[in-house]
Amino acid sequence: MVDRTTSFDDDDLPVNINGEVHLPKLDGQREGPFELFSLVPSRPFFPRGFYWDEGFHLLPILDFDSDLALEIVKSWFNLVDDQGWIAREQILGDEARSRVPADFVVQSSAVVNPPTLMLAFTQLLEKAQKPGIQQNVDEIEGDLTKDQLGSILINNPSLLNDFTRDIYPKLKLHYDGFRASQQGEVDEFERGSNREIYRWRGRTSTHSLASGLDDYPRVLPMDVAELNVDLLCWVGVMTRSIKKVAEVLEIPEDVEIYSQIENNIIENIDKFHWSEEDKTYCDASVDDDDEHVLACFKGYISLFPFLTKFIPEQSVDKLEHIVDLLADPDELWSEFGIRSLSKSSEYYRTAENYWRSPIWMNINYLVLESLAHYNDVSSAYLSDTLKSKIDDVYTNLRANLIENVRSEWERTGFVWEQYDDQTGSARGAKNFVGWSSLVLLMMSMPASLA
């Protein structure tokens, strides 16, 4: 069920008597039929494909069956419509519909989700380019060996190139549609010639379901002037990813275009979202005089330029502020993982408390990966003290996450959706072996960076 007419660019959204802004009621029309080959977050609770989850689902699979991962990627991108849109939830069939509340069945084509599939696809392309055994598919004789199963495409450059070239038009269409639909207001607020600024569509005063971070605090009051740092970073991920695809396909004119966009994104992350006062990254809006203001809620949002590796490797001052934020028990550090919202926030553990304190494995995985990344690429710029900080956070965080997931599995018999930041206790949906399975990749990481 899709609504293709409702706009979220109106300043005059309806307001109830409590002052909370609510979305206009969506008028859905049935479309399809569609089909999708997908993983799911939790078969008992979420038996449907989620666009934001799927890229994380694929990461543990890449090393075991890259052919399967590519088949899933292709199936998702076959859903791209002529506007470049993919529905963030794939509610296909009776089983999926039976687990979706009525209010969430209709989806708006103006609303997107974090493009994690691009992240997974480019990781696979990078893996394929590493030195290793590569074989022409025509040279394979007889039965496949165990080592060959699941890696035919990745070990055969011509096949992988054909696969990539086949889906590239869909990737471009999706990329262009995503950017156009989430473009922030530039001219109205005289924000300059660099137009790489973005705003999630479809939020209310309490929730931004499009962002995937649901009840995480955002700019209030709501305004079309809002700019979201996590969304800017996700567009950056898409840009870096599609640039990589263009490089693999040897399309230099596209590489040049995407390189310029990527540079513009890096520039605007600092220009519009870094708070010198709070020493962190923040969402933004304007005040009553249309002057630029920042709305800083320290937590997962603050980390996004770090998580997506858009902090320049030489910017060790900003990097150190992020590491200090991670390591501070009065902010994001807990003995069970990095909490989603700072302990010092007025919104900490309030209301729904879905992304306002709990520990989520997908973000914690990105934290570990980014710590390892900057420990490597920024090595020449790091002081001994900062190197030690990075290693301490990485070493202890990895051990804490693995141990807590293991102990809660032993206690309950399940892997869970999220974990309590104060007790480590399981929360949310059980049997959540979607992105919580990233603990397997954590286990395969080095025990320390030293």
Contact present, 113 and 209 (Cβ < 8 Å): no
Peptide bond into 14 cis (omega under 30): no
The answer to whether the beta carbons of residues 73 and 117 sit under 8 Å apart is: yes
Both tokens of 146, joined, read: 């165990």
Catalytic residue of the set 53, 369, 417, 421? 417
- Please give the structure tokens belonging to residue 24: 């206009």
Residue 395 and residue 449: Cα distance in Å, rounded? 7
Instruction: State how far the Cα of 38 lies from the Cα of 347, in Å rounded to an integer.
Output: 35
Name the nearest CA neighbour of 376 among 402, 394, 352: 394
CB–CB of 251/165 below 8 Å?
no
What six digits make up the tokens of 297?
A: 């809620």
Handedness of CA 377, 380, 383, 384 (dihedral sign): positive
3-class DSSP state for residue 400?
Answer: helix
- Structure tokens, 175: 């990329």
Specify whether 214 is catalytic: yes
Q: Which of 214, 247, 328, 392 is catalytic?
A: 214
Nearest by Cα to 82 from 105, 106, 102, 109: 109
The answer to whether 11 touches 223, Cβ cutoff 8 Å, is yes
**DSSP string covering 284-326:** EEE-TTS-EEEE---BHHHHHHHHTT-S-TT-HHHHHHHHHHH
Catalytic residue flag (residue 81): no
Q: How far, in Å, CA of 29 to CA of 6, rounded?
A: 12
Contact between 286 and 225 under an 8 Å Cβ cutoff? The reply is yes
Residue 40 parent element (H or E): none
How far is it, in rounded angstroms, from Cα 272 to Cα 49?
Answer: 34
- Tell me which residue of 167, 169, 139, 141 sits closest to 155, measured CA to CA: 139
Q: Cis omega (within 30 of 0) on the bond before 221?
A: yes
Are the CB atoms for 223 and 208 separated by under 8 Å? no
**Residue 79: its H or E element:** none
Write out the catalytic residue numbers. 214, 417
